[in-house]
Amino acid sequence: MTQITVPSPPGPQDDLHSVVQTRTREWHFHIYFLLQSPTETAAALALRDAVLRLRRDGAFVAVPLNRVNKDPIGPHPAGSYEIWVPDSSFSDVFFYLATNRGNLSILIHPLTAQQRRDHESRNGWLGTPWPIYLDGLPLESEEVPLQYPELQLGWSTSLEEEISLEERRRRGARVEELLAKDPEAAPAPKD
């Protein structure tokens, strides 16, 4: 009898420095719409205009690309447009789009130097997932493509704006202290 050894998958990363250094700082939301449907196209463009108004009014930072794709382009199989979002606005934009997208599908992915992995396995969907064409995406780029560095957000955040590891540890210890007597909150391991 032949015995096959299956390697155990690696455990989750839990080193503070590694997690902070490898986090993503920018995201793309791709709003898809059927080109054959005037109703769906109008809904997608109305959502885009609403995002632009809300950005102007200070609700969040979100930058729809000026171009709206009226044909399939790159990995995207339908009409689409991209919204760039820094990590500091991710939650606000995610919730806004989740509650205002109607029947539109939205691909969400991080913006890193590994574009194929970002689109293929680090992605998420609001609505029904669409098939995307991955063959044209590079496996690895030399660096993360910076978008809108003039905003000094996301990958362009200055080092002075970063929270230090020591401050993160202080904040974490304070959260643990505040939750210590709450029976519903799981305590962190003692190691």
Domains (ranges, CATH) in the chain?
Answer: 22-157 (3.30.70.1240)
d(CA 37, CA 120): 27
* DSSP-derived secondary structure letter, 156: G
> How much is the pLDDT for 14?
79
β-pair partners for 110: 27
Q: Are 76 and 69 in contact (CB under 8 A)?
A: yes
Q: What is the mean pLDDT of residues 156-175?
A: 88
> How much is the pLDDT for 145?
77
- Better-scored residue on pLDDT, 190 or 101: 101
Sheet containing strand 105-110, strands side by side: 63-64, 79-86, 26-33, 105-110, 124-126
Q: What is the mean pLDDT of residues 38-62?
A: 97
Q: Are 105 and 127 in contact (CB under 8 A)?
A: yes
- Give the confidence band of 190 by pLDDT, cuts at 50, 70, 90: confident
> How much is the pLDDT for 136?
87
Q: Which two tokens stand for residue 103?
A: 């029947």
- Better-scored residue on pLDDT, 141 or 40: 40
